[in-house]
Amino acid sequence: MPLVTSKDMLLDAQKGNYAVGAFNVENMEMVMAVVEAAQEMQSPVILQTTPSTARYAGLNLYYANVKAVAERATVPVALHLDHGSSFELAVQALREGYTSVMIDGSHLPWEENSRLVRRVVDACRPCRVPVEAELGCIGGKEDDVDSGGTGLTSPEQAVKFVEQTGIDFLAVAIGTAHGVYKRSPNIRLDLLKEIKKRVFIPLVLHGTSGLEDEVVRSCIQEGICKVNYATDLRIAFTDGMRRILSGDKSVIDPKIYGNMGKELVKRYVQDKIWVCKSSGRGF
């Protein structure tokens, strides 16, 4: 089917007390793996690209890739700009056909973040493309951006931020971090509960690669509607390629080792769809 926006997906998830998995993709094989997993499990799904991914091949190439694969599927597929780094990049994604956009001004002072996000919302609203933004500072390293911070989302500021910006989804900082965890994180479910009481738009959880599934399920129970996965997909794809290339050095066909990478990504995505409880929701 044609690409859809993520708004109805996440509003349905909010009503049904489940989440939609949002998976970062880097190449054709990963795109195919994510959509095939969603199709087999009849789950809605969000595919994401980051600024560095866009620099690597161009937003238009990723859009064409995802669009082609989505059109062969019967489940809802959205294409999302993850951690959009500027107003210009967000607008470029909008023009290329992305059906969902995140603008990340969380590294800016509060008022500057709010103004930047409002500009993106004003640009996307006429096209009915939903906008995600982040308040607080999710730690760790996402792509080539190191947040260097650990500031948690304030429930009081979240209310004001949502009102001022008009965003559709809010990414919250409750103790998760991007990249690979070096120690067990302290996930603030109590803070998430407080945010949910005051903010009524769908909430997003970043930094879940390596987080225990039960912790993710608890976050979904307390109001998370979109769960982002990135680092673990890269690990799965690379592990698949290594299995083939290290086992048989005579292999030179990229389809052979690419297919193994694709298979491991697909298995990972299927597992996370179960965690998100979105299986069977893609009708």
Nearest to 119 by CA among 147, 152, 91, 83: 91
Verify whether residue 82 is a known catalytic residue: yes
Nearest to 113 by CA among 137, 97, 140: 137
Q: How far apart are alpha carbons 108 and 51 in whole angstroms?
A: 17
Can you name the residues that pair with 171 across neighbouring β-strands?
134, 204
Which member of 82, 104, 168, 232 is catalytic?
A: 82
Interhelix angle 189-198/213-221, rounded to 10 degrees, is: 30
Tell me how far apart the terminal alpha carbons of the chain are, to the nearest angstrom. 11
| Active site residue ranges | 82
